[in-house]
Each structure stands twice: as C-alpha cells, then as structure tokens.
Amino acid sequence: MDNILDMTIRELGDLLKKRKISSVELTRFFLDRIKKYDSDLQSYLNITEGYALKMAEDADKRIDGGDNGIILGIPMGIKDIFCTRGIETTCASQILKGFVPPYDATVIQRLKANGYVHLGRLNMDEFAMGSSTENSSFQVTKNPWDIKRIPGGSSGGSAAAVAAGLCVASLGTDTGGSIRQPASLCGVVGLKPTYGRVSRYGLIAFASSLDQIGPITRNVSDCAGLLSIIAGHDPMDSTSIPEPVPDYTAYLGRDIKGMRIGIPQEYFIEGMEKDVKQAIEASIALLERNGASPVNISLPHTEYAVATYYIICTAEASSNLARYDGVKYGLRVDGKDIIDMYKKTRFRGFGREVKRRIILGTYVLSSGYYDAYYRKASKVRTLIRRDFENAFSQCDIMITPVSPTTAFMVGERMDDPLTMYLSDICTIPVNLAGLPAISLPCGFDHSNLPIGLQIIGRPLDEARILQVAYAFEKERGVKRIPDRYMQ
C-alpha cells in the first residue's frame, strides 16, 4: 500500500469509489504510520483513533450510497486551533488543557459535510505564536527531512505530518506566514487565502485582522480541491467575503503563456542563503521557459513590515487572550481573591512567548502609547497594501522566496526572539495586505533541506496562483516523502 503515499486526493477517492480499498482500511494505514513514525517526529498532540474509524465507517456507507465528494473517506490531521465538537482543543497551551468545545468551527463543519476522516490534532506553537513549533506547551515537533531541525511554525505539526505521510492533508492557519513557512521548510504545499475568503468562525483567535485558514497538502491539485471545500461566505463571520467560490481545480493545467511575473527586489535581502536565492532564480527561469514574462517591481515599504506586524499582532493578541482568565473554561489556579486567581492562572497557563506578546501588545495599546505605536503601525499597513496595489498594475502575480533560509536547528534561535521574528520577513507583508499566497517546493539546499517558492496574487485571485503553481509543479514534479518514512 506504499504507493498510496504518491496518490492525490482524487486518485485515492477513485480507489474508494471503485471499492479497491475502504476508508476504514485507508484510515488504519495512516493510524499505523502514525504509531510507527510519530514518536520521533511528534507532529500529533492527540490521535483520535476510535473517532477516526467511526468516521471512516460512515464514509464507507456514504460511498456505498453513491456519494462522491472530493474528500469523502480521506484521512486528515487538523491543527489544534479549530474548535471541534467533543474533541479537546488546546491551541498547544496549558491554559486550554481539558477544553472540549461544544460546537464545530465552520471549516470543520464543511469538512464533516464532505465526509473527511479526523485522524487527530496536530502540534503548533502555542496560540499560533511562533515560527518553529518550539513554543508548544507540550512537545517540539521535528522536521521530517532532518529531525535535528525545526519544521517551521506555527503550523509545524501540520506541515511535518503531511511531509512524512502521516495524513493525506491538513488544515493550518496563517497570521504572518504560519502555513507558508512550515510548508516551505518541510517541502509541501501550503496556501494562505485572501483575508475573508475562508470563515474564521470557531478558529481560536490570535490576531483577528491577520488570521486566515488554509490547506497544507503534498501537491497543488489537493490544495485546490481542499480550498474549494473550505472557502465561501459564512454569516457567522462578519469579515467573511460574500463572493461565490470558483472550482479552483478547473484552473489547473491552463496555459501561463504571457503571464507577467513581478519580482520584488526588496525580498532578495542581505543574509539570504545562497542556495535559496539560486533556487528562486531557477524557478523564475522555469516559468519564463513556459511563456511567463518576468518584470522587476518595487514594494518600497517592505522594510517596515516586520515592525508593523509585531505591533498590530501583539496588540490584537493582548485583546483576544484577555478572555483566558480561569473563570469559564480551561486551567484555573485558585488564589486568595479573584485578582490573585487571574494572575496565578495566566502565569502558569501561558508560555514564555505568549506572555512576551501579551506584554508587548498591552504596552502599545496603553494610554499615551496608542498613537505612537498602534495608530502609526495601522497607517504603515495601509502604505504596504498600496505598494501591492501599485505593483499589481505592472504584473499578474509575484514570485518571492518564502523564507530567507532553510530549516534551522532545534533550539538555535529560542534565545534570540528578534532573529526568530525575522524568519517571516518574506511572508508577513502578504498578511498585512490581506492577499492570497502559496508556498510550494522548488528545490533543496546543499544539506538536502527543502526550499519553498512563494507565489502572491491579487485579492480573491487564488485561482491564478494555483494555476501558476500547478504549471510549475508539473515541470518540477512532486517531492517524495523522506526516505526514513518509507521504510
């Protein structure tokens, strides 16, 4: 059954519909792989075996009844940030340990309606605050290509599990690069949709004006199919865009001849690894050979993006995380009075990085500092968005690196938060502007570590970036799972 790992979701679906394999058998296959390989990788926080097998049985009945949904009977892992009815949802934080939501997030509802199988909850940086999955309160996930290295973050568990073949696909979240950066470092495909394209209802919030949900898959066609399911307007989310969702898979295989590719010079920064730069340049040349036309463009306010992001996201985190106080749900540490209880609960429940961001956010929102920091950052955010608007008058898509480096060693940057924050320098501007972007594998460095290519599109132009990504992937091929996970 190892050839299952090379199949797309559609190919697996065809096997299920022809009854060459059942969803129960497919689910057991992945559960066995998790048991065999995840002790070193540590991508799963919680394996929901009984729940998964029941969902697989239900999927087999639906298939027997003639149902033919894209993900019907397909085993997936889910980042531990989406409220899922009856399943503990912790956001990889001690403060939410034991929290079992009474309802499903909209994306979970849509996956269930289409018959997916829930294998378990995937590890992440606590409350999605991090770029390495080292900030989880429970365990450190490793990179499947080298388990001494980080998988990226905050959706590191999702990217690592997909890359190692411990699930067919996953959902992650992206606030400043948390889908694209781990996808890049683990050699898989990760898409951050336009802000508002996918409902955030039931997502445990980090920074509400930046968070977005997207798929992490092993190939572009799976990414397009999954996005078609989770995208769309939701009246439960006031920021959800009321626009129809196209069939993204219909755009795959279309010609890219004549497409203008913008190359922003500001993204080729000092300190970028030579192998990364060469891989991106080779990727641009490949697209040019397929009929696309490179155009040099400028995004002049890029240098202010990281500072702007860390003011806005910490301010919003400070506000969003104020609700975790030990009163209604999650951890509660008793104190001599209610104020003491708040202090003790939050001190014990939040990890170091989360506390750092709450303190920063509270500071920039405090009296006398709001105008100097938060208001000014909001104005710079507008300038960054205008940079993209102006640049898109000269091009159809943009090509950049995802990360200036490949995966670094576990523990290497934990005591240097500024260097850690700079890991997302190529992804953060996209979130500030609310644009769609995809990361897909484009090569390896001299240490056999994956390198990711970022394709950025106009608002709601996911179809075009998937079209270009598919054309690129068709030429390059899909990366195999690392050899250690094929034994």
Residues 6+ apart with CB under 8 A from 405: 272, 273, 276, 423
| Rg from Cα positions in the chain | 21
- The distance of Cα 257 from the centroid of its chain, to the nearest Å, equals 30
| Six token digits for residue 343 | 């202090």
**Cα-Cα-Cα-Cα dihedral of 198, 200, 204, 205, to 10°?**
100
Q: According to the model, what pLDDT value does residue 418 have?
A: 77
CA angle 446, 452, 458 (to 5 degrees): 155
Q: According to the model, what pLDDT value does residue 2 have?
A: 54
Query: Angle 106-113/220-230 helices, nearest 10 degrees?
Result: 110
Q: Up-side HSE of residue 344: CA atoms within 13 Å toward CB?
A: 11
Cβ(84)–Cβ(104) below 8 Å: yes
Catalytic residue among 178, 199, 240, 318: 178
137 is a catalytic site residue = no
Catalytic residue among 137, 154, 318, 423: 154
Sign of the C-alpha dihedral, residues 78, 235, 70, 456?
negative
Domain boundaries, the chain: 2-261+393-485, 322-376
- The distance of Cα 409 from the centroid of its chain, to the nearest Å, equals 21
Reported as type and span, the H/E element at residue 215 is: strand 212-217
- 212 three-class SS: strand
State how far the Cα of 323 lies from the Cα of 443, in Å rounded to an integer: 43
Residues 6+ apart with CB under 8 A from 435: 194, 195, 388, 456, 457, 458, 459
Edge-to-edge strands, sheet with 437-444: 44-47, 117-122, 75-79, 169-174, 212-217, 189-192, 437-444, 450-456, 397-401, 260-264, 293-297
Residue ranges in 147-273 assigned as alpha helix (H): 156-163, 180-186, 220-230
79 is a catalytic site residue = yes
- Could you report the average pLDDT of every consecutive run of 10 residues in the chain (487 residues)? 87 96 98 97 98 98 95 98 98 97 98 98 98 97 98 98 98 98 98 98 98 98 98 98 96 97 92 94 97 97 96 97 92 95 96 96 91 94 98 98 96 85 90 98 97 98 98 90 88
Q: According to the model, what pLDDT value does residue 368 have?
A: 85
State how far the Cα of 442 lies from the Cα of 330, in Å rounded to an integer: 42
In this predicted model, what pLDDT tens digit does every residue of 192-220 receive, in sequence order? 999 999 999 999 999 999 999 999 999 99
Strand partners, 215: 171
Mark 267-292 as b/e (b = at least 16 C-beta within 10 Å): bbeeebbebbeebbeebbebbeebeb
Q: According to the model, what pLDDT value does residue 271 have?
A: 80
Cβ(406)–Cβ(450) below 8 Å: yes
State how far the Cα of 350 lies from the Cα of 358, in Å rounded to an integer: 10
Nearest to 120 by CA among 57, 182, 52: 52
State how far the Cα of 30 lies from the Cα of 13, in Å rounded to an integer: 15
User: Would you state the CATH architecture of domain 2-261+393-485?
Assistant: Alpha-Beta Complex (3.90)
Catalytic residue among 22, 43, 79, 137: 79
178 is a catalytic site residue = yes
Q: Model pTM?
A: 0.97
HEC string for 71-93: CCCCEEEEECCECECCECCCCCC
| Six token digits for residue 128 | 């999605």
Provide φ and ψ at 439, rounded to 5°.
-110, 135
